[in-house]
Structure 1
Amino acid sequence: MTAHIDRPVAEPSADIAAGARIGAGTRVWHQAQVADDVEIGTGCTLGKSCYIGSGARIGDNVKIGNHADVFGARLDDGVMISPHAVLTEDRVPRATRPDGLRQGPGDWTSIPVIVRRGATVGAGARIAPGVEIGRYALVGLGAVVVRDVAPHALVLGNPARACGWVCRCAATLDGQLRCPRCDRAYELVTDLLTEIQTDP
């Protein structure tokens, strides 16, 4: 049985800014870095050497893998960001301004990625600024996502393209939009996949 942790737990090598807020039961592993103005919910896991950039808003029970970079993103409850994934926020990145001076915080605009409830971003995936990944969607490993991803969509490749649908349990749906793992059934209504509710 797992004990309930009523406060966040951080390894001594983690670097957490004074202005970051982290919920109860969240675990921050070795060399993880959490910037100022970050909010992290309860029961999360921040893997070794991950980076959470300023302005990020992270819900409850989110798992962020080792070496993942989350620049200012909004992550709803139950999201999985796999190891080495990168969520970017700057559409026109430059090191310097036109006058040759180094850019400062006021020289660019953050356009955060939004990842909706229960979605997974696979290992090594790259997500462009402003992209929204729908509820329970699954971004395959190494995918480069430059457009919004529909709820429950499975996307693969570079650029990422939809190639199927996944259940809330992450299994790929069969041709009848039924889950082979948990037997949930779905239907497509105007290109939006919705779960068919069954009576208890």
Structure 2
Amino acid sequence: MNYSVHESSYIDNEVTIGEGTKIWHFSHIQSYSNIGEKCVIGQNVNIACNVQIGNGVKIQNNVSVYEGVTLEDNVFCGPSVVFTNDLNPRSKYPKGSSKYVKTLVKEGASLGANSTIVCGITIGKNAMIAAGAVVTKDVPNYALMVGLPAKQKGWICECGTQLDSSLVCTNCNRKYSIKEKDLVEI
């Protein structure tokens, strides 16, 4: 075993876990999920069946990543992030996994504590979702999203610094331009 799992956590059969990944207390990794290398899965995290998680992902305490959600490399999920996978759930009329609505969180995106990610959307590369925001529609690459529902309040550098109108990072000097409603590094 080239990863570590706290003795209080459960790992179901048919799970792939990459080298150097750490799974902390009271977590549950369900069947057919795939977790990349060097991930950190915090306390009380549930990774549902068939979930795909890239390399270097950090999932803080009390997050459930439901079936239909894909997290690409280096995604950060703050404490108590909420994912959904059904737009109109009814206890009396369960749909089953074939009807779950897919959600994609692209490489390097950060989801703040207690943010809610409504299913059926894509969160762009290196986007930043503020704590408590409720995301109901697709998010452009490098967008800074805040509020309920979440609205774009600017752009964010790959390093996490909010960009001013020059689109040049004051921290790492990366330069960006807007192309087709997305920010691209130049």
In the superposition, the TM-score normalised over structure 1's length comes to 0.89
Deviations along 1:77-131, whole A, 9 cap, x unmatched?
111011100111111211112xxxxx3736x611121000000011000001111
SS at match of 2:173: coil
Q: Does residue 1:177 correspond to 2:167, yes or no?
A: yes
Deviations along 1:21-46, whole A, 9 cap, x unmatched?
11111000000111111000110000
Q: Which amino acid aligns with 2:87?
A: R
- Give the whole-Å Cα distance in 1 for the aligned partners of 2:16 and 2:40: 14
Larger Rg: 1
| Equivalence for 2:83 | 87
Q: Does residue 1:105 correspond to 2:96, yes or no?
A: yes
Aligned length: 185
Contact 1:186 1:194 in 2 (8 A): yes
Moved over 4 A (4+): none
| Equivalence for 1:145 | 135
Structure 1 segments unaligned to the other structure (5+ residues): 1-5, 98-102
Structure 2 segments unaligned to the other structure (5+ residues): none
Q: Which amino acid aligns with 1:121?
A: L
Q: Which amino acid aligns with 1:122?
A: G
- Give the whole-Å Cα distance in 1 for the aligned partners of 2:18 and 2:169: 34
Contact 1:29 1:47 in 2 (8 A): yes
Deviations along 1:162-195, whole A, 9 cap, x unmatched?
0000000111001101111111111112222111
- Give the whole-Å Cα distance in 2 for the aligned partners of 1:56 and 1:14: 17
Q: Which amino acid aligns with 2:96?
A: P
| Equivalence for 2:22 | 27
Identity %: 35
In the superposition, the TM-score normalised over structure 2's length comes to 0.95
- Give the whole-Å Cα distance in 1 for the aligned partners of 2:27 and 2:92: 27
CA pair 161-104 structure 1, distance change in 2 beyond 3 A: closer
Q: Does residue 1:14 correspond to 2:47, yes or no?
A: no
| Equivalence for 2:176 | 186
| Equivalence for 2:115 | 125
| Equivalence for 1:3 | none
Contact 1:22 1:40 in 2 (8 A): yes
Q: Which amino acid aligns with 2:174?
A: R
SS at match of 2:99: coil
Structure 1 residue 62: Cα displacement: 0.4
